[in-house]
């Protein structure tokens, strides 16, 4: 199973990720004799066990197929049962790096929540590090412990049911890093200071509200933490879409106008590509591709057009309803007069990178600090 | 205190003064340079990391934590209605300040004098006073911190000094590469980077000397500048395997190479190399290379390297076009393609080529041995890639990603992650399209992150005035097989 390392064959008792299609996955604990319903059809677990991870499997009654993936902490984050709000990939990545986690690190986490961060931490500190995670909600602590056992990482994680704000961490050794995801993180800072290594121990606090950040930073400063910094990190997804913008009818009949357009090179594009060391080559590849794709047979002197439409289509894209396909193209040309559109329709449709319509606007503020308490007199 | 927490001779350290970061190796009697000052770090040897130091003449002295704390400003004006920008508020002239400095006055004393001689200081609000003090302290106090190099500091340092050398890799993006690639101890990593070893170092740190890293490199030898900074135990290097980018053609699947007559296909590669190497005086002649199993890597000669690069670009371009057209990985076609490029290159530099072959050269036994070692290493990596499926593919380089990506993708086992970084989105979209057509990956994402830092101060919390516009883009996904 993939939470630590990789294995090739799916075994009984494994937790596999069933990839159902774009943006659609589910986790599946495998046991012989069980059948699970998915939106692509039913899956018989006995059919899955013994198969290789990554394989494609048709659902019963051949309604469709799914892919079976090895769980990684990142896939798990997307598929775990939410018992609380969880942290996602972008924040987890930054936290892991800023806390300087690596194999052998000893790290404390509070609270455990649904275990999204815990899995990522455990993966990074394996094989000889340890994660001490604290959760004040008893049932969540129990569930998390079960999860870690199921996922073969229980040797790396100790789950404690404990209210850290009230009682501190209750451990008598020092740790490399502390991660706080608590409602009143400033109240835990003094407890954290007691267990952090004084030679550069790292602390991170995740809080959704700026007032929490304010109080935490004040507390960190007054307790002698240095390099206090606060970040916000948001992820934006892009998809590849074919963008078709209708050619505007300007009431003129000239064909020559698009020559003038081509003559003006796009300074933006060439300058931005310059420091890759291969100016212009990537656009050429694209154009070659586009020309054969679209024109299919027509002789196209326009094949080498600059990609200057990229910018404008990106913005105007929202007017267009959905990704067009080859079949739709002829329809599109109907609006424009035949002679006018001819040269320009070779530009369109074009492939654009379009951000998803929705993106997270806020997850939380990440506050980082380092503890250096220097021995007196040195 | 553990012995690892103190600064030792020979270790790499980072000197941090304000926002500026400098990487130095600590040696007795070795001069370092920071903010136009030269000094020795001798005093710091044996002292813990994280300590703050002042420069006194040529030496440094430790700053105690009490000295370190900035005293709070208590009294101040209510607003700035009485403050005019007339350059008359500071009574000390430039000469006065210079005189103070040349008298060897300590920076703190200079700042004090500046405050005393500023007519407007008392009228400033406490916030404005704090800002003023900070600015003056940064300027006049030669105070810096000695830190242990880590990925964050190195990334910041490179990004500040030469972002393009570092292919604009930003800290959050680097963090995501490591996470998305599921980097951990004991796995097999295949990676290509052109960010001075920063990504390689970060990966090695997360693997802690266990597992395998196959590093594809573009120059004649891999650039591992940043890796040195991490002060890794020497055993970490044992996990590293270098493989030159211009030999990727040599990685054709074994079966096809065998059926295709191995001699021929390797000689094609070596021909190509030969063509690139014509400027090199000690170039081996074509015959001797042909008889050998693996072609040799080129020596680092600037001129020759530039020629080599051109050829390589050509190859990439033609490969890329081919991939775009057919969208299949056709190894034979790719090999032919490479052969054609080699011929082209031969024609271009045909004259040089014949010269190179005619030229007399002496056989240097040391060089021969080195070549032999390189050849062996090439074969070893080839065998490794053919016998062991890789667990992840990580790419962050200045080249077009698609040709490299398609060449390496096939060495990944199913259900494994891959991550490609590019400062621009369009090249990643090409890879995205290729992946969608080849049906060998799921959960494909192209993402960008937005990273904003905040100033958090009592009553003065707001986002920083400046922020990075982009951290580049990432293509991530998971491989699948279409076995049923």
**Beta-strand (E) ranges in B18-115?**
20-25, 31-34, 37-40, 52-56, 59-63
Q: Is the pLDDT of residue B34 over 80?
A: yes
Q: Which fold has domain A15-71?
A: Vcp-like ATPase; Chain A, domain 2 (3.10.330)
Q: Is the pLDDT of residue B306 over 60?
A: no
Q: CATH: 3.40.50.150, 3.40.630.10, 3.50.50.60, 3.30.70.3040. Which one for B151-281+373-479?
A: 3.40.50.150
Q: Is the Cβ–Cβ distance between A7 and A53 less than 8 Å? A: yes
Q: In a 3-state reduction of DSSP, which class is residue A208?
A: coil
- Chain B neighbors of A98, CB-CB under 8 A: 152, 175
Q: How confident is the model at residue B341 (pLDDT cuts 50, 70, 90)?
A: very low
Closest C-alpha to B270, from B300, B298, B310, B243: B298
Model confidence, pTM:
0.78
Q: Is the pLDDT of residue B22 over 80?
A: yes
- Chain A neighbors of B5, CB-CB under 8 A: 199-200
Indicate the domain borders of chain B. Answer: 1-148, 151-281+373-479
> Tell me, what's the pLDDT at A345?
55
- Find the CB nearest B454 among A56, A100, A365: A365
Q: What are the tens digits of pLDDT across the range B216-231? A: 999 888 888 899 999 9
**Beta-strand (E) ranges in A196-224?**
199-207
Report the alpha-carbon distance of residue A363 to residue A366 in Å, rounded: 9
Contact A236 B449 (CB under 8 A): yes
Q: Is the pLDDT of residue A255 over 80?
A: no
> Tell me, what's the pLDDT at B275?
44
Q: What are the tens digits of pLDDT across the range B41-99? A: 999 999 999 888 988 888 898 887 766 665 556 677 777 887 887 777 888 888 888 88
> Tell me, what's the pLDDT at A279?
38
Report the alpha-carbon distance of residue A198 to residue A374 in Å, rounded: 7
> Tell me, what's the pLDDT at A89?
95
Looking at the complex, report in whole angstroms how far the Cα of residue A254 sits from the nearest Cα belonging to chain B: 32
Closest C-alpha to A18, from A85, A92, A82, A78: A78
Q: What are the tens digits of pLDDT across the range A356-372? A: 999 999 999 999 999 98
Q: Is the Cβ–Cβ distance between A99 and A179 less than 8 Å? A: yes
> Tell me, what's the pLDDT at B360?
56
Q: Select the residue from A65, A74, A287 to test the B interface by mutation, using most B Cβ atoms within 10 A.
A: A74
Q: Is the Cβ–Cβ distance between B274 and B286 less than 8 Å? A: yes
Report the alpha-carbon distance of residue A183 to residue A208 in Å, rounded: 9
Q: What is the CATH number of domain B1-148?
A: 3.10.330.20
Q: Residues near B272 by Cβ (< 8 Å), separated by ≥ 6?
A: B246, B311, B338, B339, B341, B342, B345
Q: Is the Cβ–Cβ distance between A290 and A302 less than 8 Å? A: no
Is A120 an interface residue toward B (CB < 8 Å)?
yes
- Give the gyration radius of chain A's Cα atoms: 28
């300027």: which residue's tokens?
B139
Of B218 and A336, the structure prediction assigns the larger pLDDT to B218
Averaged over B295-299, what is the pLDDT?
40
Averaged over B171-175, what is the pLDDT?
96
- Cβ burial, residue A107 (10 Å; 0-12/13-18/19+): buried
Using DSSP, how many helices (H) and how many strands (E) does chain B show?
17, 15
Q: In a 3-state reduction of DSSP, which class is residue B70?
A: coil
Q: Is the Cβ–Cβ distance between A266 and A307 less than 8 Å? A: yes
DSSP string of B336-349, one letter each residue = HHHHHHHHHHHHHT
For B282, the token pair is 């000690």
Report the alpha-carbon distance of residue A74 to residue A80 in Å, rounded: 10
- Find the CB nearest A218 among B47, B448, B458: B458
Query: Of the given ranges (B149-153, B167-171, B359-363, B375-379), which has the lowest mean pLDDT?
Result: B359-363
> Tell me, what's the pLDDT at B115?
85
Indicate the domain borders of chain A. Answer: 15-71, 80-237+360-372, 238-249+337-355
Contact A6 B399 (CB under 8 A): no
Q: Is the pLDDT of residue A300 over 60?
A: no
CB pairs under 8 A between A and B: 249
Is A127 an interface residue toward B (CB < 8 Å)?
yes
Q: Is the peptide bond before A349 cis (omega within 30 degrees of 0)?
A: yes
Annotated binding residues of A for S-adenosyl-L-methionine: 135, 181
Query: Of the given ranges (A191-195, A218-222, A242-246, B251-255), which has the lowest mean pLDDT?
Result: B251-255
For chain B, what is the mean pLDDT? Answer: 78
What is the phi-psi region of residue A5: left when phi exceeds 0, alpha when psi lies from -120 to 50, beta otherwise? Answer: left
Closest C-alpha to B329, from B419, B410, B404: B410
Report the alpha-carbon distance of residue A32 to residue A132 in Å, rounded: 34
- Point out which residues pair with A196 in neighbouring strands: A175
Residue B233 dihedral angles phi and psi, to the nearest 5°: -60, 150
Looking at the complex, report in whole angstroms how far the Cα of residue B127 sits from the nearest Cα belonging to chain A: 16
Q: Judge if ipTM > 0.85.
A: no
Q: How confident is the model at residue B262 (pLDDT cuts 50, 70, 90)?
A: very low
For B152, the token pair is 């964050």
Q: In a 3-state reduction of DSSP, which class is residue A220?
A: helix
Contact B446 A240 (CB under 8 A): yes
Q: Select the residue from A95, A101, A233 to test the B interface by mutation, using most B Cβ atoms within 10 A.
A: A233
Q: How confident is the model at residue A70 (pLDDT cuts 50, 70, 90)?
A: very high
Is A228 an interface residue toward B (CB < 8 Å)?
yes
Q: In a 3-state reduction of DSSP, which class is residue B357?
A: helix
Report the alpha-carbon distance of residue A375 to residue A199 in Å, rounded: 10
Looking at the complex, report in whole angstroms how far the Cα of residue A193 sits from the nearest Cα belonging to chain B: 16
Report the alpha-carbon distance of residue A35 to residue A43 in Å, rounded: 6
- Chain B neighbors of A11, CB-CB under 8 A: none
- Chain B neighbors of A210, CB-CB under 8 A: 461
Query: Of the given ranges (A343-347, B17-21, B236-240, B254-258), which has the lowest mean pLDDT?
Result: B254-258
Averaged over B263-276, what is the pLDDT?
45
Q: Classify strands B188-193 and B59-63 as parallel, antiparallel or unpaired.
A: unpaired
Is A293 an interface residue toward B (CB < 8 Å)?
no
Q: Is the pLDDT of residue A317 over 90?
A: no
Residue B60 dihedral angles phi and psi, to the nearest 5°: -120, 150
A80-237+360-372: CATH homologous superfamily? Vaccinia Virus protein VP39 (3.40.50.150)
For B475, the token pair is 């293509």
């Amino acid at each position: 199973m993939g939470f630590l390392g990789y294995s090739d064959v799916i075994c009984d008792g494994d937790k596999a990720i069933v990839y159902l299609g774009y943006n659609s996955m589910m986790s599946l604990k495998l046991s012989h004799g069980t059948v699970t319903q998915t939106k692509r059809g039913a899956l018989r677990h006995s059919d899955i066990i013994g198969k290789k991870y990554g394989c494609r499997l048709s659902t019963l009654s051949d309604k469709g197929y799914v892919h079976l993936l090895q769980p990684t902490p990142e896939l798990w984050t997307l598929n775990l049962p939410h018992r609380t709000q969880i942290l996602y990939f972008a924040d987890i990545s930054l936290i892991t790096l800023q806390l300087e986690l690596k194999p052998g690190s000893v790290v404390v986490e509070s609270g455990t929540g649904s275990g999204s961060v815990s899995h990522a931490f455990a993966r990074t500190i394996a094989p000889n590090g340890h994660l001490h995670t604290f959760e004040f909600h008893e049932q969540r602590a129990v569930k998390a412990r079960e999860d870690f056992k199921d996922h073969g990482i229980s040797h790396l994680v100790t789950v404690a049911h404990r209210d850290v704000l009230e009682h501190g961490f209750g451990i008598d050794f020092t740790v490399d890093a502390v991660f706080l995801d608590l409602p009143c993180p400033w109240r835990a800072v003094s407890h954290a200071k007691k267990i952090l290594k004084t030679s550069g121990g790292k602390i991170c606090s995740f809080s959704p509200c700026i007032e929490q950040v304010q109080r935490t930073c004040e507390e960190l400063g007054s307790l002698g933490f240095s390099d206090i910094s606060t970040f916000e990190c948001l992820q934006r997804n892009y998809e590849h879409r074919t963008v078709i913008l209708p050619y505007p009818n300007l009431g003129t009949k000239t064909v020559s106008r698009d020559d003038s357009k081509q003559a003006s090179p796009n300074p933006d594009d060439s300058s931005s590509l310059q420091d890759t060391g291969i100016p212009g080559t990537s656009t050429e590849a694209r154009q070659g591709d586009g020309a054969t794709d679209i024109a299919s047979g027509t002789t196209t002197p326009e094949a080498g057009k600059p990609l200057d439409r990229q910018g404008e289509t990106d913005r105007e894209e929202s007017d267009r309803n959905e990704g067009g396909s080859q079949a739709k193209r002829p329809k599109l040309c109907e609006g424009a007069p035949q002679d006018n559109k001819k040269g320009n329709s070779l530009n369109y449709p074009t492939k654009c990178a379009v951000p998803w319509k929705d993106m997270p606007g806020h997850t939380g503020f990440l506050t980082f600090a380092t503890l250096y308490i220097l021995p007196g007199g040195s | 205190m553990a012995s690892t927490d103190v600064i030792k001779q020979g270790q790499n350290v980072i000197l941090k003064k304000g926002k500026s970061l400098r990487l130095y190796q600590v040696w007795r009697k070795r001069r370092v340079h920071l903010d136009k000052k030269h000094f020795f770090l001798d005093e710091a040897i044996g002292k813990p990391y994280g300590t703050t130091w002042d420069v006194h003449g040529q030496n440094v002295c430790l700053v105690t934590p009490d000295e370190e704390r900035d005293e709070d400003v208590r009294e101040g004006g209510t607003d700035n209605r009485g403050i005019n920008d007339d350059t008359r508020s500071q009574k000390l002239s430039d000469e006065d300040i210079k005189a103070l400095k040349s008298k060897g006055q300590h920076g703190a004393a200079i700042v004090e004098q500046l405050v005393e001689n500023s007519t407007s200081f008392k009228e400033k609000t406490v916030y404005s006073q704090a800002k003023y003090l900070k600015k003056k302290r940064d300027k006049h106090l030669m105070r810096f911190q000695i830190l242990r190099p880590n990925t964050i500091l190195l990334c910041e340092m490179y990004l500040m000094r030469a972002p393009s050398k570092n292919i604009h890799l930003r800290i959050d993006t680097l963090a995501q590469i490591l996470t998305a690639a599921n980097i951990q101890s004991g796995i097999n990593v295949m990676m290509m980077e052109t960010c001075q070893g920063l990504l390689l170092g970060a990966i090695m740190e997360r693997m802690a000397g266990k597992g395998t890293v196959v590093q594809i490199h573009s120059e004649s030898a891999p650039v591992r500048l940043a890796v040195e900074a991490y002060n890794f135990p020497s055993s970490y290097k044992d996990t590293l395997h270098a493989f030159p980018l211009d030999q990727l053609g040599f990685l054709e699947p074994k079966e096809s190479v065998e059926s295709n007559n191995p001699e021929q296909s390797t000689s094609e590669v070596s021909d190509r190399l030969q063509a690139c190497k014509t400027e090199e005086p000690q170039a081996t002649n074509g015959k001797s290379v042909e008889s050998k199993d693996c072609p040799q890597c080129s020596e680092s000669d600037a001129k020759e390297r530039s020629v080599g690069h051109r050829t390589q670009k050509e190859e990439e371009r033609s490969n890329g076009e081919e991939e775009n057209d057919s969208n299949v990985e056709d190894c034979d076609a790719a090999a032919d393609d490479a052969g054609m490029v080699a011929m082209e290159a031969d024609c271009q530099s045909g004259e040089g080529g014949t010269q190179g072959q005619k030229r007399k050269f002496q056989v240097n036994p040391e060089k021969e041995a080195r070549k032999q070692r390189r050849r062996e290493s090439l074969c070893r990596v080839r065998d490794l890639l053919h016998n062991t499926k890789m667990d992840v593919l990580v790419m962050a380089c200045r080249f077009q990603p698609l040709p490299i990506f398609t060449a390496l993708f096939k060495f990944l086992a199913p259900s494994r992650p891959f991550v490609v970084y590019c400062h621009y989105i369009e090249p990643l979209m090409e890879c995205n399209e290729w992946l969608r057509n080849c049906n060998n990956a799921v959960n494909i994402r192209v993402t960008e992150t937005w990273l904003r830092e905040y100033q958090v101060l009592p009553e003065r919390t707001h986002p920083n005035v400046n922020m990075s516009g982009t951290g580049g883009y990432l293509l991530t996904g998971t491989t699948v097989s279409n076995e049923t």
